[in-house]
Structure 1
């Protein structure tokens, strides 16, 4: 047992699409993740996140991101887990795609969230990485439902959702940072998923699935 993936099997998981590689973020990847975030994700004062973490001072952002990665990793159990998948495009770290579940064995439901640095936006990569996560959830984890949400003004995120087959699932008002935001929930089933025209390549699934209690 001399490899980290033998101790923490999700580290051996890799999802590959025609243009992207998705794999769980390890400690060695954190500097690249911080660099991508610092390069810019959204316009100033227009955070698409319920927790406006991108608006932290530069000298605090990196430590905050590291804490989040470590917290999610430390809290992973079969009853509650979050896969924080880093996204690589041409060997460049460009963003993160999260897949989260609670009581998955019973509910068969995942939720997703993501971010993509500005320099990688507008190329269809956000849709491709979400399609990868959904393909993995439905075809390998045997999920039945996927959920997501976005601020009602976030047409880009909601547009990606609609293009993949998500349907509106109600809205609610919430406080995001200092702003009150109308949030749109969306819901997707395995049958309504608008699958991409490519096949996802998956490595390391069996060990990761056992680790997640599946």
Structure 2
């Protein structure tokens, strides 16, 4: 019998840390993701996203998030993919950690981004979920570089990067809503990675890697 997982095996990928479960967001998860975003992610005067999607009215936020999840899924190919992993903590959806790559077979490089609802920030969960996807990228996918970026003023994100061993990798200027911000790029390799003292548990990797043609 054909199942959704046999058609789209990425849905079976699960990364488990001591406190978190990370797995691709399905259509059934979208309402929980929208509720988490609506609960608040950042201060009103400091938007960490270059596209200010969190500032949309409630009746537009949900459709916009759904479109983004569907678009990333529809455009996922071995040459250019982005996995949007929902974050579950104590059975509750609390945020999203993405990991993606372009021309991974040649470049062996992944990039990441994330958000957490405000009520769970400040507990080290952002570091734990970033460490999870970096461990998966380095140890399971064979990545050689992990990249990320944040607005230069975003000390929370850059602090997570520093704590994991990322090194500064230059700046650029980028349109940020109606303004322009300085973007700080950071770069991590297996040699500079400050590994956590826990082991990542991975389920569904082989089918996901085959689907992405990562061997």
Q: Which runs of 4+ in 1 moved over 4 A?
A: none
Provide structure 1 residue ranges, at least 5 long, that are not aligned to the other structure: none
Matched with 2:144 is 144
Per-residue deviation at 1:59?
0.7
Matched with 2:123 is 123
Matched with 2:47 is 47
Matched with 2:84 is 84
Per-residue deviation at 1:45?
2.8
Q: Give the Cα–Cα distance (whole angstroms) in 2 for the partners of residues 42 and 124 of structure 1.
A: 16
Structure 1 position 15 matched with structure 2 position 50: no
In the superposition, the TM-score normalised over structure 2's length comes to 0.98
Q: Give the Cα–Cα distance (whole angstroms) in 2 for the partners of residues 164 and 3 of structure 1.
A: 38
Provide structure 2 residue ranges, at least 5 long, that are not aligned to the other structure: none
Q: Which moved more, 1:163-172 or 1:45-54?
A: 45-54
Q: Give the Cα–Cα distance (whole angstroms) in 2 for the partners of residues 51 and 181 of structure 1.
A: 12
Q: Give the Cα–Cα distance (whole angstroms) in 2 for the partners of residues 87 and 2 of structure 1.
A: 28
Q: Give the Cα–Cα distance (whole angstroms) in 2 for the partners of residues 180 and 201 of structure 1.
A: 40
Per-residue deviation at 1:32?
0.1
Matched with 1:193 is 193
In the superposition, the TM-score normalised over structure 1's length comes to 0.99
Q: Give the Cα–Cα distance (whole angstroms) in 2 for the partners of residues 73 and 100 of structure 1.
A: 12
Q: Give the Cα–Cα distance (whole angstroms) in 2 for the partners of residues 96 and 68 of structure 1.
A: 12
Matched with 1:98 is 98
Per-residue deviation at 1:4?
1.3
Q: How many corresponding residue pairs?
A: 214
